Each structure stands twice: as C-alpha cells, then as structure tokens.
Chains A and B, each alone.
Chain A
Amino acid sequence: MSDERDLIRGVLGPQGPELTCEQCFEELDRYVELELAEDDPDVAVPGMRAHLDGCPACREEHDSLLALAERD
C-alpha cells in the first residue's frame, strides 16, 4: 500500500504554492542554514518545503548541502 501511496504522491506532487527550481537554488543556502539553526525555515522561505517534496533533483541537492554545511 505504501508503494502505491508514494507513487500517487509522486505523480500528484505537493499541495499548495511552491518555489520554482530557480528560486529553490537561490534560496537553498539560506534555507539550509535556517534549518541548522532551527529558526523556522519554512516561515522564512515559504514554498521551499513543497518544492523539495515535489522535485527529487532539488531535494537531493538540498540534502547534500544540509549534510555538508552541518560539518562546518
């Protein structure tokens, strides 16, 4: 069942407004540092979480930047 749910979620994408890939790239560093600071990243950068849910490529780059910035 979860496979089908994941498939449906992937096809239909996120609900609500989301950033574009270009906007995501522009805001990614700020968003990641707000995440690391636990400083309400989704309030500061609305639409980012939805985009990361809907765009696997941007999500992969987000996850990598978060992991790399966390090391510094």
Chain B
Amino acid sequence: MQVRKGCVTATVAAPAPDLTDDEWIEALRLRSDDALAALHRLLVRAARFEVGRRRAALPHLRGELLDDLAVQSADDALVALLAKLDDFRGDSRFTTWAYKFALLEAAVRLRRLAWQGREVPLESESWERLAAPGSSPERDVELRELLDALRAAIEEQLSERQRHVLVSTTIAGVPIDVLAERLDTTRGALYKTLHDARQKLRRRLAEQGFDVGAWT
C-alpha cells in the first residue's frame, strides 16, 4: 500500500489481520503494507455504512458515485488517522477509534453533497418558523410570548454573525459543516459562535422572567 497526501492507492491485497490493539499500532507505526491495507478496508466499511444510513436522503445520486464517495472518505480518513496515531490511548477498541475517522469524513461529504447547489435560506424566510401559533389555549399564549421574546432577543442581543449562524443552523436547518464551508471556517469555530449566541439568548430570556428550562 502506498500512502500519499490525501490519497491511498492499494498495491497489496492482504487479508484482514486479526490484530490486537497494540499490534495494530505497532504495525501501523512501521507502515506495514498488510496493516495499511487492512485498515483501509476497515475504513471503507465504515464509510459505506455511513453512506447506507443516509442513502434514502440522497435518492438522486447514483450508487457508483456514492461508493466513490465512501472510498474517498476512507482515503482521507486513513491519512487523518495516521497523523493522529500517537493519540490513540486505548480507551476504546482500536477499530472503534478508527471507525470515527471514516464516519466523520463520509458524513461531512454527504451533508455537503445534499446541499450542493442549494442556497442558504434568507433569514427573513427562516423567521416564519418562529411565528407564534394562532390558536387560543392558555398554553399557546405562553408559547406565543416566549416565541415573541425569543425573536426579539435574536434581533437585539446577537451580533450579525451570531444571528446568521444561529438562524441558519437551528431554524433554517443548514448543516453546520455546510455553513462552515461557505463561510470559510471550521465546524468547531461555528459551534463556538452558536454556543455563545445561545448563552446570550438564555440570559436575556431569564432576565425577562421566562422559565427557559421548562421549555428545553
């Protein structure tokens, strides 16, 4: 097996070795062809598993394209995993630790694929979801007051960027990876922005006497 930046080309078709966690780590540190090939198969399996779970949401995509996506995800996961090999602490089975790299790569690709060519909805369109219900029971009055206060807090308490991130991800349903790519940032950085925005909203609603905990 040859490993180069962002890509893996299999040159050895080795059977999957039945290795202990320590043996996996040792063999991978030595860049054993057999271990690399076995690991790649493991990662392809995980990426295909992720594709299978989401396939129903992507009916317009051909199976061949999705399988290519699974293999590309495994290629990138292998490179990412090898770079983090020394971080494996043995807190889980090696295979479980390895799977998460492939699942992440495949999930991000699939979310971006699902949003390819779609615009992030305008905030004004998303606001409609925060419209209060029109029926009259007492509980609806309470709900209407909370929704009104929440909408006002989003408008008045948040920075423009916080509002954009919060409305896009939590109201318009834009996946955070998709928004991160379009804003040229990372999922982690966007989640921090979202977290800070949520804290501001919670504080504001609490100041106004709302029992936010009862609703969340």
Task: Give residues 33-60 of B contacting A (CB, 8 Å).
Answer: 46, 49-50, 53
Task: Please count the residue pairs between chain A and chain B whose beta carbons lie under 8 angstroms apart in the complex.
Answer: 113
- Contact residues in A for B99 (Cβ distance below 8 Å): 29, 65, 68-69
**Contact: A55 with B103, CB < 8 Å?**
no
Q: Is A10 an interface residue (CB 8 A)?
A: yes
Query: What CA separation (Å) do A37 and B97 show in the bound complex?
Result: 16
Q: Tell yes or no: A43 within 8 A of B by CB.
A: no
Cα distance, A55 to B146, chains bound together (Å) = 23
Check if A38 is an interface residue, CB within 8 A of chain B.
no
A12 to B150, CA, bound (A): 9
- Is A57's CB under 8 angstroms from B92's CB? no
Majority secondary structure of chain B interface residues (helix, strand, loop or mixed): helix
Q: How many residues of chain A are within 8 Å of chain B by beta carbon? A: 35
Q: A56-B175, A64-B107 are in contact. Are A30 and B95 (CB under 8 A)?
A: no
Known: A29-B92, A72-B93. A65 touches B103 (CB 8 A): yes
**Interface residues, chain A, CB within 8 Å of chain B?**
1, 4-5, 7-15, 18, 20-22, 25-26, 28-30, 32-33, 54-57, 60-61, 64-65, 67-69, 72
- Show the binding face of B for A, using Cβ within 8 Å: 46, 49-50, 53, 87, 91-93, 95-97, 99-100, 103-104, 107-108, 111, 129-130, 133, 139-140, 143, 146-147, 150, 154, 166, 170-171, 175-177, 187-188, 191-192, 194-195, 198, 201-202, 205, 212-213, 215-216
If A57-B176, A61-B103, A65-B100 are given as contacts, then 12 extra A-B residue pairs at C-beta distance below 8 Å, sorted by A number, are A4-B133, A4-B143, A5-B215, A8-B216, A12-B198, A12-B201, A20-B192, A32-B92, A33-B93, A54-B195, A57-B108, A61-B104
